[in-house]
């Protein structure tokens, strides 16, 4: 479903979008540059065997946290799916990849789907989740699937938003689908909120330490 709170947060954060673009210009440009490079490499080589692609992808998406044998299976699956025109169910892919990855890795599977077709599949990660989290019942995987649908539906709603248009005009991200652009925009919102929460927590700890010493 469309997450109205996420849309409200998006519109509030980017009310003065030129200022936000200026503040996070380096983040946006780095995100675009690496992503478009990966998209180009994806169809130029066998990504299950190319170490340059795997190294860049793993660093960009955090996949390097996986053990070596898990990363090997991950890239074998990416290679096998990269030319598919069939609909990818990220939930089903997560289940199928569990034996190879050791546990459910919904976020990594969403990133695989996104690099294959970023006009159809958004990314689910901790930063994006900040704008879409809500109370849900069911297993962790079921909750991820529900939130992922929220993200997908909300991005479709925002497809013609003026902020996205301004982002396209400023950065000219040729080769990047609109869902990946919105991912970059929501990623910054999440990054800001997480940093703010950590800062507040740190100040609280310092205050408590000072009070205890007094």
Confidence of residue 207 (pLDDT cuts 50, 70, 90): low
Q: DSSP labels for 99-119?
A: HHHSS--HHHHHHHHHHH-TT
If pLDDT is split at 50, 70 and 90, which confidence band does 198 have? confident
The pLDDT value recorded for residue 197 is: 86
Q: Which two tokens stand for residue 24?
A: 């996070």
CB 119, CB 177: distance < 8 Å: yes
Q: CA geometry: angle at 133 spanning 131 and 139, to 5°?
A: 150
Q: Which residue has the tokens 């789907």?
A: 113
Residue 201 has a pLDDT of 73
Exposure of 193 in the CB half-sphere (CA atoms within 13 A)? 16
Backbone Cα Rg of the chain: 19
* Cα–Cα distance for residue pair 70/93, rounded to 1 Å: 15
Spatial distance between the Cα atoms of 144 and 151, rounded to a whole number of angstroms: 10
State percent of the chain over pLDDT 70.
94
- The tens digit of pLDDT for each residue in 128-162 reads 999 999 889 999 999 999 999 999 999 999 999 99
- Cα angle vertex 173, ends 167, 175, to 5°? 140
**Owning domain of residue 101:** 4-213
Q: Report the domain count for the chain.
A: 1
With 90 as the cut, is the pLDDT of residue 177 above it?
A: yes
């Amino acid at each position: 479903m469309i997450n109205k709170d996420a849309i409200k947060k998006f519109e509030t954060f980017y009310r003065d979008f030129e200022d936000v673009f200026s503040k996070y210009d380096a983040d946006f440009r780095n995100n675009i540059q690496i992503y478009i490079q990966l998209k180009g490499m994806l169809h130029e080589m066998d990504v299950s065997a190319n170490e340059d692609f795997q190294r860049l992808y793993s660093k960009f998406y955090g996949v390097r946290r996986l053990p070596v044998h898990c990363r090997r299976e991950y890239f074998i699956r990416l290679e096998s799916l990269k030319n598919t025109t069939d609909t990818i169910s990220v939930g089903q892919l997560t289940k199928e990849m569990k034996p190879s990855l050791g546990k459910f890795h919904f976020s990594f599977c969403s990133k695989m789907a996104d690099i294959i077709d970023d006009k159809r599949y958004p990314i689910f990660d901790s930063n994006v989740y900040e704008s879409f989290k809500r109370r849900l019942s069911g297993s962790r995987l079921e909750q991820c699937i529900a939130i992922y649908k929220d993200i997908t539906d909300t991005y479709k709603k925002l497809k013609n938003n003026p902020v996205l248009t301004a982002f396209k005009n400023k950065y000219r991200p040729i080769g990047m689908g609109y869902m990946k652009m919105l991912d970059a925009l929501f990623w910054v919102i999440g990054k800001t909120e997480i940093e703010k929460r950590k800062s507040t927590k740190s100040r609280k700890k310092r205050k408590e330490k000072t009070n205890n010493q007094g």
